[in-house]
Structure 1
């Protein structure tokens, strides 16, 4: 599994647009481009940090060449329009070494 972490820098006054468009843009990336999903976080300083999972680095790299439906491309464009793209950056690209993230309780 391949993981990419982003720091999104939202333009002043565009937080609502960003938060409305991010889930739909992410859903489109999942449906059309093969991601395994993503989580959006907000750190204590107010920065938006996203953690995206991909089945492989190859799938992640090829995703840039895959177009989504017009509806999802519009959500993606709305998200991009809400960002300061010069300051938005990729924080990390990494392989999963050990995966112990679960949605159910652990048996002890």
Structure 2
């Protein structure tokens, strides 16, 4: 895998994860989560997690939400801002995810 492939897989899996959640399809959501997490792990192990920062401006809310979660430690201000904006999303699943991510971050429960 290379950085471009890892980012592409992260984006695709983030989109599919949100679709799975929105449709109540746990099989798709879980499989997609594994793919996006594996992409994150590859980026982390190869010192390229910072590449996810560009996804904070992605057009898809699911991509922005996952990118914000994984970049909180790298770009706290921007990631928190994205999550705060997503808390008012029309998608209940996105707004809830953003809210819980911020809560867990503030409580010190997120580990990277």
TM superposition score category, shorter chain reference: 0.3 to 0.5
* TM-score normalised by the chain length of structure 1: 0.33
Task: Pick 1 or 2: higher relative contact order, CA cutoff 8 A, min separation 6.
Answer: 1
Please say which structure displays the higher CA radius of gyration: 1
Name the structure where strand makes up a greater proportion of residues.
1
With the length of structure 2 as denominator, give the TM-score of the two structures.
0.32
Higher helix share: 2
